[in-house]
Amino acid sequence: MQSDFDRLAALSQDELWDEEAATTYDTPGEGMDAPDVVGPAVDRLAAIADGGPALEFAVGTGRIAIPLIARGVAVTGIEYSRAMIRRLRQKASAEQLPVVHGDMATTRVDGSFSLVYLVFNTIGNLLTQDAQVECFRNAAAHLRPGGRFVIELWVPDLRRMPPGVPAAVEEAREGYILVDTMDTLRQHLISYHFRFGAGRDARLGRTPHRYIWPSELDLMGRLAGFELESRSADWQGTPFTQASTSHVSVYRLTT
């Protein structure tokens, strides 16, 4: 019997990240769009770019790219979801923010870059280890010698999923509940997004991911010619410890 994950994995990115997803993706002034979330990320990326051009894998609706451009960094994006690109175009023109339609593991764009970056756990949207390794190789192919590849990623917390517990509530706030299920054998995760209002009706969105351990991520980098330059728990540079729930990892191209 086909699993829920396999059914979702068979969908295209345009089906997973459709018009409804693109329309509700932005949360102006709060959540992942809050100034205290976006600001430190843009500050750190601008410093790493050091005046050079940047390429964002899975640029989405431009949450990070647009304010990074405002800081003087020339940004190009790669994005698989046409709905996300249409939403981005409501905020930035093709001249301001060029975007190539395609996937982050194989799509190439013209030029070479000082920085390639992936934010908000997006590398997990690639659902196999092979595709994630190819993402590193694609980053390397776009970088100048000594360029950086920056990844923001969560740390899997299997303690929240003991044997016999099929799911964990990751977030619960007014009008929204996020529940995750995990397959620890295949490192697969499904996020179930429940959105509801005052009535009895609710809307469900589901997104599949393949989670990655930090040490596994480092090995992927080595296979593509990178070395880990730094790892912090957040964009502000908080030290990464065994209690950290996320990390920002900076890889430098050595080959």
pLDDT at position 21 over 90: no
CB atoms within 10 A of CB 144: 14
Answer yes or no: are the C-beta atoms of 10 and 3 closer than 8 Å: no
Q: Read off the pLDDT band of 27 (50, 70, 90).
A: confident
What is the structure's pLDDT at 24?
78
In whole numbers, what is the pLDDT of the chain averaged over residues?
A: 92
Task: Pinpoint the alpha helices (H) of the chain.
Answer: 4-9, 13-16, 19-25, 35-49, 65-70, 82-89, 129-142, 214-223
Cα diameter, the chain: 58
Q: What is the mean pLDDT of residues 153-181?
A: 86
- Tokens 């997990």 label which residue? 124
C-alpha 86/C-alpha 81 separation (Å) is 9
C-alpha 169/C-alpha 179 separation (Å) is 4
**β strands within 50-133, DSSP E:** 54-57, 75-79, 99-101, 113-118
> Is pLDDT larger for residue 1 or for residue 208?
208
In the chain, what are the domains?
A: 4-155+212-253 (3.40.50.150), 158-207 (no CATH)
Q: What is the mean pLDDT of residues 110-127?
A: 96
